[in-house]
Amino acid sequence: MSPIRIRTKERPVSTDDRPQDPPANSASGRATVGTGPGQPVAAGPDTTGPDTTGPDATEPAAVAPAPDGPGGSGGRRAARGSAVRGEVSLRAPKLPRWAPLLTALVATAAGALLALTLGWGLIAFAVVSAAVYAVALPAWALVVENRRSAVDRLITTLVWSAFAIALVPLVSLTWTVVSKGAPAFSAEFFSYSMRNVVGEGGGIYHAIVGTLLITGMAAVLSIPIGLMTAIYLVEYGAGRRPARVINFLVDVMTGIPSIVAGLFAFALFSIFFGPGVRMGFGGSVALSVLMIPVVVRSCEEMLKLVPNELREASYALGVPQWRTIVKVVLPTAMAGIVTGVMLAIARVAGETAPLLVIAGSTDSVNMNLFAERMMTLPVFAYYSYMQPGVPPQFGVERAWGAALALILIVMSLNLLGRLLGRLFAPKTGR
């Protein structure tokens, strides 16, 4: 006679092969008998009649489910049905995907209705529409979903609203400069200076040359000083008093007004060349004072990101520290360093106040940084707008054109920085 097997959820277990500890008086109807003096064991189910293990045994014996085969499907269906009936659904009601769009349409319609009825402007219409949307969508989510989802939708709405508000001045500035400066663009505008030009005509060629020369010299002065300072702060001066003093001075230089840098350069060059000195190199020195702290901070942060394990591996091979910096640290951080340097150049390219003080202005092309005045794009835009001449519309148009050209140069420097950052990034392939 084959042993009776009890089917469980995990796997079949044989009562002959695997004895179990029986419960004292289980509600399932199992009884216990002894195989020896004082040794109870579990009794197998009896399918032929009542339990006869003793005269006092009145509970019916447990009936095992039918084994695998044609007769065992009923037990499996019953077990499956009980599992389905005991199942708890984890799905909660949710708003449809088109709910935000519908709410936005309703909010826009409500804002437009109020604006037309009360005679409001575009700004009032946008504010009312955003407020209606910020209230309606979370309230709908609170009714249909739950409080947690309503708070999530409210915070999401506020974040997107803040992003839209931040875009307003950027879009407005870009549109104003492009719409007013684009009509001034022409071949003459980029290839002629303002020498002997009165009224219509002329261009910004001399200002573009001056901007590129002064900014380039400022980069030549600032990049080595800023990079070497960052290397000292990270690699040699960590925890030392000179490093703390340098960090303090860099923080102070970061916040100084640009006019102070121009006055510093003017006072410095007046000592050597006399009062009233004006030259392009002085403008480069003034811009370098503003550029050095930016280069120091950007390079310092990039050098700190280099893992110490790379330095330790180089030291373990007997490589000196200076060679480790040149061959390991700098190449690893080169992408971030180049990006930071290009952003620093773009930051000082549009400075006006220091160049007004030390570089001056002129209508002619000057290629010599160490002699005479030199015009730059920010100064040209300032003088063209403040002193447009007669008739004034031509001077104002040239001012907007110079502003647009300066924006394009700064944007090009930013894009170039990102491109060089990707070019110098460490290779991550296998």
3-state secondary structure of 320: coil
| Contact partners, residue 403, CB within 8 Å, separation at least 6 | 177, 181, 381
* pLDDT, position 87: 53
Q: What is the CATH number of domain 202-423?
A: 1.10.3720.10
Residue 142 has pLDDT above 70, yes or no: yes
Per the listing, tokens 């009062």 go with 275
For the stretch 289-329, pLDDT in tens is 999 999 999 999 999 999 999 999 999 999 999 999 999 99
Q: What is the dihedral of CA 367, 372, 377, 381, to 10 degrees?
A: -150
Count of other CB atoms within 10 angstroms of residue 359: 29
Instruction: Please tell me the least confidently modeled range out of 8-12, 229-233, 286-290, 419-423.
Output: 8-12
* pLDDT, position 15: 47
Cα separation, 335 vs 358, whole angstroms: 34
In the DSSP assignment, the letter for residue 427 is: P
Half-sphere exposure of residue 111: CA atoms within 13 angstroms, side-chain side? 21
* pLDDT, position 232: 93
Residue 113 has pLDDT above 60, yes or no: yes
For the stretch 57-77, pLDDT in tens is 444 444 444 444 444 444 444
* pLDDT, position 10: 47
For the stretch 118-141, pLDDT in tens is 888 888 888 889 999 999 999 999
* pLDDT, position 360: 86
Residue 198 has pLDDT above 90, yes or no: no
Cα separation, 137 vs 231, whole angstroms: 53
Q: Which residues pair with 355 in a beta bridge?
A: none
Q: Which residues pair with 13 in a beta bridge?
A: 6
Residue 338 has pLDDT above 50, yes or no: yes
* pLDDT, position 63: 43
Q: Rounded mean pLDDT of 172-194?
A: 90
pLDDT band at 429 (very low <50, low <70, confident <90, very high): low
268-305 core/surface letters (b: 16 or more CB in 10 A; e: else): bbeeeeeeebbbbbbbbbbbbbbbbbbbbbbbbebbee
Q: Pairing state of beta strands 32-36 and 13-14?
A: unpaired
3-state secondary structure of 6: strand
Residue 28 has pLDDT above 90, yes or no: no
Cα separation, 116 vs 103, whole angstroms: 20
Residue 220 has pLDDT above 90, yes or no: yes
* pLDDT, position 32: 41
Q: What is the mean pLDDT of the chain?
A: 80
Share of the chain above pLDDT 90, in %: 37
Q: Are 195 and 362 in contact (CB under 8 A)?
A: no
Cα separation, 408 vs 334, whole angstroms: 26
3-state secondary structure of 26: coil
> Domain segments of the chain: what residues?
99-184, 202-423
Higher-pLDDT residue of 372 and 389 is: 372
Share of the chain above pLDDT 70, in %: 78
Residue 31 has pLDDT above 50, yes or no: no
pLDDT band at 90 (very low <50, low <70, confident <90, very high): low
Q: Which amino acid is at 358?
A: I
Cα separation, 79 vs 83, whole angstroms: 6
Per the listing, tokens 């399918």 go with 47
